[in-house]
Amino acid sequence: MLSDRQLYIIKAIVELYAKHGEPIGSKTLIEFKKLDYSSATIRNDMKALEMAGLLEKTHTSSGRIPSEKGYRFYVDNLSKLLQAEEDTEEKDLNYQMLFETLDNPFQRISDIIQSSAKILSTLTNYTAFILGPEAEHNKLISFRVTPIANRQMMAIIVTDNGRVENLIFQLPPSIDYSSMVKMVRIIEEELVGQTLYEVYRRLNNDIPKLIHRYAANVENVFQDIIGIFEQTSDKTLYVDGELNLIDFMKEENLNHFKSVYQLLDDNKNLLNLLAHNSSDTINVRIGGELEFNELSDFSLITADYNVKDYGSGIIAILGPTNMAYQKNIQLIEAFQNVLPVVIERYYQHHDD
């Protein structure tokens, strides 16, 4: 159990490291946080926090930086302190600024989502993702594959909002027609009636195992099928600020940047990355908690937003683990509350 002083010290180190990007020592804590304790007392507490796995010592400095466990502790256990220090004036300004910025005569719902992603990226200087409400709200109501010539097939999906997507593909000689029929039946039985977001998530998780069990040699065709759903998802997921990653990655890690950029350029990876337990709370995943090794130095903040009668979507930012969590969580919360209002106004205007 940490003392109140140790709680304050871990909180201060997380916030100072986010601001300055340098290891934090006892003198820095006293200078910037005006702690009324001796350097020796603070050093002892920092050592105790290091022993608890919440801080790490770097090779180049006697100061400490937060560990991944330390960031997790900060986010999970210091919420009361964050609320107590919450800047309500800044929170109100966030809401006002967003309403004013998004108060435009948008012609399409996609324009609202795209503009929101750009604004969020600009305000945070991180990479922003916004999934439009249609992706989680619209449902798959029909999936079928029809032969059109020899071994040429057409796959067709239909959603409950009337959207139709199709793909023509060649059935390879290695695949017999009965195996393809089994694959189609599995997709129909498991996925028809579910939301497009859930369909896409399952196509990249448990459905391949089912298909592999009952249908042989259909992997290539299955990837073509997934491509149809990617076409639908591409229209509702907007990303902005990918190049912002360069600003907080070390120059010598250029190859790392390339691998992260390539990961974010894949719609399949993005949808898997954004998948989380649906709730009204803001979700923070840190470093190794993210399912991609390339993102071990990053944190992802996500939140669902709900638009009355029109479904829900996802808001997210990806940034360094030493981000300013309090500020960014407040900003995500503002988007979570403002974006549904803007989208509802759009629908009300266009339904009149």
Q: Domain spans of the chain?
A: 4-83, 87-132+237-351, 136-234
Backbone angles phi, psi at 250, to 5 degrees: -65, 145
How far apart, in whole angstroms, are the C-alpha atoms of residue 224 and residue 215? 16
DSSP string computed for 191-208? HTTSBHHHHHHHHTTTHH
How far apart, in whole angstroms, are the C-alpha atoms of residue 77 and residue 325? 13
How far apart, in whole angstroms, are the C-alpha atoms of residue 317 and residue 45? 33
Instruction: Take residue 207 and report the two structure tokens written for it.
Output: 């459905």
CATH architecture of 4-83: Orthogonal Bundle (1.10)
CATH architecture of 136-234: 2-Layer Sandwich (3.30)
> What does the pLDDT profile of the chain (352 residues) look like in tens digits?
889 899 989 999 999 999 998 999 998 998 887 778 889 999 999 999 999 999 998 877 778 999 999 999 999 886 655 555 555 666 777 888 888 888 888 888 888 999 999 999 999 999 999 988 765 567 889 998 888 888 888 888 888 867 777 888 888 887 888 888 888 899 999 999 988 778 877 888 888 888 888 777 777 778 878 877 766 655 578 999 998 988 877 655 667 888 888 888 887 788 788 876 556 689 999 999 998 999 999 999 999 998 887 778 899 999 999 999 989 999 999 999 999 999 988 888 765 5
Residue 34 is predicted with a pLDDT of: 76
What CATH number does the domain located at 87-132+237-351 have? 3.30.450.40
Using alpha carbons, select from 304, 337, 321, 319 the residue that is nearest to residue 137. 304
Using alpha carbons, select from 60, 67, 61 the residue that is nearest to residue 26. 61
How far apart, in whole angstroms, are the C-alpha atoms of residue 254 and residue 259? 9
How far apart, in whole angstroms, are the C-alpha atoms of residue 140 and residue 123? 35
Beta strands in 115-235 (DSSP E): 127-131, 140-149, 152-159, 164-170
- Cβ-contact 134, 311 below 8 angstroms: yes
Beta-strand relationship, 152-159 and 164-170: antiparallel
Query: Which of the 8 DSSP states describes residue 296?
Result: T
How far apart, in whole angstroms, are the C-alpha atoms of residue 349 and residue 352? 6
Terminus-to-terminus CA distance in the chain, angstroms? 59
Furthest C-alpha separation in the chain:
83
